[in-house]
Amino acid sequence: MMMKLDKKFAGKDFITLHDFSHEDIVYMLDVADHIKREKKAGQAINYLQGKTLGMIFLKNSTRTRVSFETGIYYLGGVGLFLSAADLQIGRGEPIKDTARTLSRFLNGIMIRTFSHDDVLELAQFADIPVINGLTDLLHPCQALADVQTIREHKGELKGLKMVYFGDGNNMAHSLMFAGAKLGMEVVIASPEGYQPDQHIFELATKDALANGGSVKVIADPLAAAQGADVLYTDVWASMGQEAEAEKRIKALQSYQLNDKLLSVAKKDAIVLHCLPAKRGLEITDEVIEGAQSVVFDEAENRLFAQMAVMALIMQDK
């Protein structure tokens, strides 16, 4: 049976989890779980019948494109794939003009791009909801799917220790916000020069204090892994950082998620990776294929977490 959705989300942007309260995020997770159950039971999930989502991809993708395109279809709507080659943005049209034009045609916009400022400008000038599908600063859709996956496997989120290993990138930032808002103990294990953005850390620390959680950044990966409930990693060189790959491998090689780190975590700890994975670099093949890995459950939940976001913010007011 389709869920009656809270109208307070209608028309809102989804740019960062920092913008939402603990209760908001828990509600999003509840909607995601409900939609997942409905879909697997073969029930109607056409929350967005006849709606259109423009999907702007200035950065290539596998999971983001397939999950959004499939998700809007399952919800009863239509997704339009728009690359730089398809849009006048690629020929220099200002984002503010694109935002106002697309607002006349669509019911929502998802953008996956490099600069976070592009998303902020798009949201400022669009009259329809904007979803951050990824920027170099944040990846909130992935973090929402991550905490959905953790809750599925652990039952509760509050008080769990989640440790992220490697580059303090967009994924580390969004995990800090998600964990902080949900009362988790978040530890980022990164070397000097690769630690998270200080401003994001300060915001997440305030979020944690307000919700009974904590956020910590340390350099020692083995100390970080002690007693962890969740171990998480990401690629060391993200898209656009290929020229730095060799330097990054050298700096981050001791942060590999391997059996040594698993051995000091809790016996029932779970392993996550947002994918794509460079096996043998940030994570070993044995760990990603091991019994504690829930990486492909996590990948699947991108679909349902994003369907929840779309259903909530693209619904009629």
- Catalytic positions, written as ranges: 112, 139, 142, 234, 274, 302
* Cα–Cα distance measured from residue 52 to residue 302, given in angstroms and rounded to the nearest whole number: 19
Task: Check: CB of residue 312 under 8 Å from CB of residue 9.
Answer: yes
Question: What would the two tokens of residue 190 be?
Answer: 């990164």
Q: Which residues fall within 8 angstroms of residue 23, CB to CB, at 6 or more apart?
A: none
CA distances from 281 to 190, 203, 248, 287, 298 (A): 15, 31, 11, 12, 20
Q: Which long-range contacts (C-beta less than 8 Å, at least 24 apart) are formed by 212-215?
A: 212/158, 212/183, 213/158, 213/179, 213/180, 213/181, 213/182, 213/183, 213/184, 213/185, 213/186, 214/185, 214/186, 215/176, 215/179, 215/180, 215/186, 215/188
Task: Check: CB of residue 139 under 8 Å from CB of residue 273.
Answer: no
**85 C-beta neighbours (distance < 10 Å), count:** 9
Torsion of CA 20, 121, 203, 229, to 10 degrees: 60
DSSP 13-28: -BS-GGGS-HHHHHHH
**91 C-beta neighbours (distance < 10 Å), count:** 8
What backbone torsions phi and psi does residue 133 show, to the nearest 5 degrees?
A: -85, -10
